[in-house]
Structure 1
Amino acid sequence: LTASETTGEAPYEESLCKICWDSPIECVILECGHMACCLECGKQMNECPICRQYVVRVVRFFKA
């Protein structure tokens, strides 16, 4: 089973920010490395929404 089959989420929903559910996931949270939010939401966070680790930096990524 894939992640979308086990959670019931469509592939499009998997790529949406887990905070606002409007924008695509486009950043990596450092130091934990989770990818769960858009850049706007990432800039406002103090801790990772997945593991609650302190956010040191948020880095935008680009898919090639």
Structure 2
Amino acid sequence: MPVTVTSQTLIDRRVAGGANREDSQALLAELLEAHAGDNLVSALVYQGFATEKQAKKFAAEYER
């Protein structure tokens, strides 16, 4: 069964790394507005929301 990567999954991962939940929610919203495709993948990885594999899965689903 494929693993689904959701916005909540991304936020939970960043919070587990020590970030604030509210700040993470706001930052994710900003990234989703400002980036698409490979740029979104890079931004999610750089900001600690996901591994590259998770970010690619999320971006593919988000852009549908």
TM-score computed with the length of structure 2 as normaliser: 0.28
Q: Of Structure 1 and Structure 2, which has the larger fraction of its residues in strand?
A: 1
Going by fraction, where is helix more abundant, 1 or 2? 2
- Relative to the length of structure 1, the TM-score reads 0.28
1 or 2 for the larger relative contact order (CA 8 Å, sep ≥6)?
Answer: 2
Q: Which structure has the greater CA radius of gyration?
A: 1
